[in-house]
Structure 1
Amino acid sequence: MTLYYSLVFALLVFEMGVFMTLIIPLPFSLKRAIFTFISENPIVAKLQYGLKITFIFILILFIDSVNRVYRVQLELSQAKFQGGAAAAVAGHERMEVQARKFYSQRNMYLCGFTLFLSLILNRTYVMILDVLRLEEELKQLKGQDTKKTKSGLGEAGNLGEISQLKKKLAEKERDIETLKKQSKGLSEEYNRLGDQHTVADALPKKDR
C-alpha cells in the first residue's frame, strides 16, 4: 500500500473512532460541554477546514481508483476472448492483471468508505447538535412552567389573604356602624336629659 493510501486508511480508522465516540451515551451536561468545545474551539475549526481539503484529494483518489478498476476490467474482458496458445502465453499477464484489479478495487473501497463515513459523521454531528438544542429548550420550558406554577400558587395565596382582609374590613365596618348607633343613642339621651334639666331650671322654685 502506497503512502497516501496508508494515510487514507489511517483517516478511516480515525473516523470510525470519532463515530463511536459520538454514539456513546453520555450525560447531557458532559455531551453539551464536549460539543460546545468542538463548536467554539478555533483549533478544531482549522482541523475541520483541513479535513475538507483532504476529502477533496480523497475524492480524486476515489475517481482514479474507479477508473483503474474499469480499465482492468476491460483488460480481463479482452483476455477472455484470447484462446489456445495465446491464452497460455498470456497466463502470467492475466495474473498480473488480476492483482492490479484487486489493488484497484481495494483502493476504491477504501476511498469510498472514507468519503461515505465522512458524510455520516457530518450528518450525525448536526443531528446531535439539534437534539442538544431541543433538550436545552425543553429544560427551559419546564423551568418556565415551574415558575408559572409557583407564581400561580402565590396568586392564590394573595387572593386568600385579600379575602380574609375583606372579611376583617367588613367586620370593622359593622363594628363602626354599631358604634355610630350607640353614639347616636347616647347623644339623643344626652340631649333629652339636657332639655329636661333646662326646663327644670326655668320653673319657679315653688313649683319645683
Structure 2
Amino acid sequence: MTLYYSLVFALLMGEMGLFMLLLVPLPFKIKRKIFTFISESPLVAKMQYWMKITFVFILILFVDSVNRVYKVQVELMAAHEQSAKGNAAAIMGSERLEVQARKFYSQRNMYLCGFTLFLSLILNRTYVMILEVMRLEDKVKMYEGTNKNTKESEKLAVAGKPGELAALREKLEKKDQDLQNLKKQAEQLNKAYSDLSDKYAATQIDGENQKSR
C-alpha cells in the first residue's frame, strides 16, 4: 500500500473511532460542553477546513481507482475473448495473475476511498442531527420551565424573560388578580351609588314634605 493510501486508511480508522464516540451515551451537560467546544474552537475550524481539502484529494483518488478498475476489467474481458478463440499464448498464467492482482489492488483502493468519503458524509450528518436534538432539548426545557436559568429569572421576576410558559402563567395570574380587583372596585362603586341614590331619594322626600307644610 502506497503512502497516500496508508494515510487514507488511517483517516478511515479515525472516522470510525470518531463515529463510535458520537454514539456513546453521555450526560447532557457533558455532551453540550463537548459540542460547544467543537462549534466554537478556532482550532477545530481550521482542522475542518484542511479536512475538506483532504477529502477533495480522496475524491480524486476514488475517481482514479474507479478508472483503474474499469481498465483492468476491460483487459480481463479482452483476455477471456482471446483465450476463447484459441489464442492460448495471448494470456499466460503469470500475466493472468498480474492482471488479477492489479484488479484486486484497484478494487481495494476504490473501496477504501469510497468508504472514507461515505463515512465522512455520515459523520457530518450525525453531528448536525445531534446538534439539532440538543437545541430541541434546550427548547423543551425552556418551555417546561425546568432550566436553571429560567428558574433564576423567575425569581428575579422583572417583566419576565423566563421560559415562555412560565411567563404566560405569570401574566395569566396577574390578569386574574386584576380582574378580581376590578370586580371589587365595581362592587364598591355599585354600593356607593346605591347609598347615594338612597340619600338623594331621602332628600327629595324631605323637600316634598317641607313644601307640603
Report TM bin, short chain: 0.7 to 0.9
Q: Please say which structure displays the higher CA radius of gyration.
A: 1
Distance in 1 (alpha carbons) for counterparts of 2:182 and 2:25: 52
The change in CA–CA distance for 1:84 and 1:178 in structure 2 (over 3 A counts) is closer
CA-to-partner distance for each residue in 1:116-170, whole Å, 9 max, x for gaps?
1112222222233333333434444442122211221232133324434554566
From the two aligned structures, give the one with the greater helix fraction: 1
Give the alignment's Cα RMSD to 1 decimal: 3.2
Residue from 86, 89, 98 that aligns with 2:89: 86
Q: Which runs of 5+ in 2 are unaligned?
A: 145-162, 204-213
CA-to-partner distance for each residue in 1:39-96, whole Å, 9 max, x for gaps?
1100000100111111111112112211221221122122212336416x71111111
The 5 A counterparts of 1:1-208 are 1-80=1-80, 81-82=82-83, 83=86, 85-86=88-89, 90-142=92-144, 143-164=163-184, 166-167=186-187
Cα deviation, residue 33, structure 1: 2.3
Which amino acid is 1:155 matched to? K
Relative to the length of structure 2, the TM-score reads 0.71
| Greater mean alpha carbon deviation, residues 138-147 or residues 67-76 | 138-147
Q: Percent identity?
A: 60
Distance in 1 (alpha carbons) for counterparts of 2:43 and 2:114: 27
Distance in 2 (alpha carbons) for counterparts of 1:177 and 1:85: 129
| Greater mean alpha carbon deviation, residues 13-22 or residues 57-66 | 13-22
Distance in 1 (alpha carbons) for counterparts of 2:33 and 2:200: 74
Q: How many residues align?
A: 186
Cα deviation, residue 14, structure 1: 1.2
